[in-house]
Amino acid sequence: MSGIDKLKNKAQELSGEGKERVGEATGDRDLQAEGANDKAAGNLKQAGEKVKDVFK
């Protein structure tokens, strides 16, 4: 996994977590859902990169 990809995925995950928390605090369910989706996408991308690393 390249370092840049790893950082991008982690940034997406952290951004999603932030959105999710702000959504919870403000009662904005749309923002909360968007954050959860971003966080899940970041996690999924990281898992995919790890699988690619195993097969190198």
Q: What does the pLDDT look like over 18-53, one tens digit per residue?
A: 999 999 999 999 999 999 999 999 999 988 888 888
Q: What is the dihedral of CA 4, 10, 12, 46, to 10 degrees?
A: 80
Model confidence at 1: pLDDT above 60? no
Per-domain boundaries in the chain: 3-54
Q: Report pTM.
A: 0.80
All residues at 6 or more sequence positions from 16 whose CB lies less than 8 Å from its CB, including other chains:
34, 35, 36, 37, 38, 39, 40, 41, 42
C-beta of residue 41 within 8 angstroms of C-beta of residue 12:
yes
